[in-house]
Structure 1
Amino acid sequence: MTGRVVAVSTSPVHGFSKSTQGEIALVEGVGVAGDAHAGPTVQHRSRVAVDPSQPNLRQVHLIHEELFGDLGAAGYEVASGQLGENITTGDVDLLALPVGTRLHIGSEAVVTVTGLRNPCQQINDFRSGLLKRLVHADGEGSVVRLAGVMGIVSRGGSVVPGDVIEVELPSAPHFPLTRV
Structure 2
Amino acid sequence: MSRDAEHRFGKRPATEIRLVAGVGVEGDAHAGKTVQHRSRVAADPTRPNLRQVHLIAAELLTELAAVGFDVEPGQLGENVTTHGLDLLALPRATRLRLGAHAVVEVTGLRNPCRQIDAFRPGLLSDLVGRAPDGSVVRRAGVMAVVLAGGTVRPADPIAVRLPTGPHQALAPV
TM-score by length of 1: 0.95
Give me the CA root mean square deviation.
Answer: 0.5
1:56 counterpart SS class:
coil
Aligned residues: 173
Q: Are residues 1:132 and 2:130 paired?
A: no
Q: Residues of 2 paired with 1:95 and 1:136: CA distance?
A: 14
Gaps of 5+ in 1: 1-7
**For 1:39 and 1:147, how far apart are their aligned partners in 2?**
21
Q: Counterpart of 2:72 in structure 1: which amino acid? A: A
> Structure 1 residue runs of 4+, over 6 Å off?
none
Q: Indicate whether 1:105 and 2:102 are aligned.
A: no
- 3-state SS of the aligned residue for 2:63? helix
Say if 2:51 is the partner of 1:24: no
Structure number with the higher strand fraction is 1
Q: Which amino acid aligns with 2:44?
A: D
SS of corresponding position for 1:158 = strand
* Alignment partners' CA distance in 2, 1:47 and 1:94: 24
- The normalised TM-score by structure 2 is 0.99
Partner Cα distance (1:39, 1:142) in 2: 32
Bigger RCO of structures 1 and 2 (CA < 8 A, at least 6 apart): 1
CA distance in 2, matches of 1:172, 1:71: 35
Identity over aligned residues, as a percent?
A: 61
Give the letter aligned to residue 51 of structure 1.
Answer: D
Work out the CA distance in 1 between the residues paired with 2:55 and 2:65. Answer: 19
